[in-house]
Structure 1
Amino acid sequence: MSNGIAIEARRDAFVPGIEALRGMPSSVIGDVMGRLVGTTGLHPVNRTPVTMCGNALTVSVRAGDNLLIHKALELLLPGDALVVDGAGDISRALVGEIMMTVARMRGSVGFVMDGAVRDVQAFEQHQFPCWARGINLRGPYKDGPGTINRPISIGGMLVNPGDIIVGDSDGLVAVSPQEALAVAKRARKKVAQELATIQSILNGSYSASWIDERLKQKEV
């Protein structure tokens, strides 16, 4: 590490469990993980609903500076999601159409920016998934410092390099590769349960007796 810049060795591009988690709702994944994971304050900039499931290439930068993001673009592999801790600053955009185009050509599945972005029409036009804390036309600095492939925090959620990032209209969750298959199995079960509940509401057989039972347990 020198001049406040750290670039860790590239992690293995293959992450088990991506296909198992693909298409699973972020809210359901969060539920089956104890409702202890998930971002706050980050939203899709795409107007058309988008989804994402890929390996996290993590970056941490100084507020309003994207030098290390440019370097991270060179390290992207197909299936990677570029996940950036921009200190939650929205005074300057960290990425825009040019950087998005580079990422698309390298096979990235999307951006997550705990900071601001710009050129949002281009993200919509190309249906390139992007979650951000805000939008700002003002361009960034390119001085550093920063890190690549180290643990970061985005929207209150810890993300380790190589975690599986699942994103949709509700938000984002991070799942470690070691837990992915087990989490996917629990998520599929919960999706089935929720579909059964909705069907019971539609056909008139739904029972809300659990509410009074829970209140009784709380001595209410």
Structure 2
Amino acid sequence: MQAFGIVNRKVNRADSVQVERLSHFGVATIHEAMGRVGLMQPYMRPIYTGAHLCGTAVTVLLHPGDNWMMHVVAEQIQPGDIVVAACTADNTDGFFGDLLATSFKARGARGLIIDAGVRDVKDLTAMQFPVFSKAISAKGTVKETIGSVNVPVVCAGTMVNPGDVIIADDDGIVVVPAHLAQEAADASAKRESNEAEKRQRLASGELGLDMYNMREKLAKAGLRYVD
């Protein structure tokens, strides 16, 4: 059972060098390089096109319609962090807007991932404060019930521990466990190098049918060419 009323001040964040390395790769590359794991649900979308995030997670567990803990988590943000907010039950209320974004930004937050709703989208876009959310909603929230900060949470179907690396772009959101940051960065670099070579071959006119040796397998599967 999840305990409430806890703020863990000590977070073992992923190595900053590996976080920086991961920031140069797209979500799809990292997800594939890690063995197709770590993706949050695809309903999580950026509030503006081109938003990109890479940083270490500080987590917050919210209750439906109550954003009290968003103010509590602000105190625990360190430069380079991304706030990852989960909710104890399905909810789309607007937990976050431009005032909290101003506070988060002042603390050094790189953005917010929230499995719920946000509002003040026009202002957040003008601030260029990246937010990935389940919904956009003008509906306000109260401040009545305590949750927890910097505890393991399940956000959009994926486990996030404080200190994990979060990478988000137009393709989605991927979570890299802190202890696997270097391994993920190495694998992503290798994959990107391999894709660059393939891209060059495809640009020269070579077909994927030949590059990936698909013809024999297709023939065995029964594909026939008819003139």
| DSSP-derived class of the 2:115 partner | strand
Q: Distance in 2 between matches of 1:146 and 1:219?
A: 58
TM (norm. structure 1) is 0.90
Letter in 2 for 1:79: G
Q: Distance in 2 between matches of 1:143 and 1:133?
A: 23
Identity of paired residues, percent?
28
Q: Distance in 1 between matches of 2:220 and 2:22?
A: 35
Q: Which structure: larger Rg?
A: 2
Show the counterpart of 1:70: 71
State whether residues 12 and 162 of structure 2, in contact with CA within 8 Å, keep that contact through their aligned partners in structure 1.
no
State the Cα distance separating 1:216 from its structure 2 match.
Answer: 6.9
The alignment covers a number of residue pairs equal to 216
TM (norm. structure 2) is 0.88
Describe how 1:132-211 pairs up with structure 2 within 5 A: 132-209=133-210, 210-211=213-214
State the Cα distance separating 1:15 from its structure 2 match.
Answer: 3.0
Describe how 1:122-133 pairs up with structure 2 within 5 A: 122-133=123-134
State the Cα distance separating 1:46 from its structure 2 match.
Answer: 1.7
Show the counterpart of 1:81: 82
State whether residues 13 and 164 of structure 2, in contact with CA within 8 Å, keep that contact through their aligned partners in structure 1.
no
| DSSP-derived class of the 2:162 partner | coil
State the Cα distance separating 1:111 from its structure 2 match.
Answer: 0.3
Q: Distance in 2 between matches of 1:115 and 1:63?
A: 9
1:60-97 deviation per Cα after TM superposition (whole angstroms, max 9, x unaligned): 1111211111100111111110000024411x111100
State whether residues 119 and 137 of structure 2, in contact with CA within 8 Å, keep that contact through their aligned partners in structure 1.
yes
Q: Distance in 2 between matches of 1:88 and 1:213?
A: 48
* Structure 1 outlier segments of 4+, above 6 Å: 216-220
Show the counterpart of 2:11: 11
State the Cα distance separating 1:218 from its structure 2 match.
Answer: 7.3
| DSSP-derived class of the 2:59 partner | strand
| DSSP-derived class of the 1:191 partner | helix
State the Cα distance separating 1:155 from its structure 2 match.
Answer: 1.4
Show the counterpart of 2:34: 33
State the Cα distance separating 1:205 from its structure 2 match.
Answer: 2.2
| DSSP-derived class of the 1:59 partner | strand
| DSSP-derived class of the 2:214 partner | helix
Letter in 1 for 2:126: Q
Letter in 2 for 1:44: P
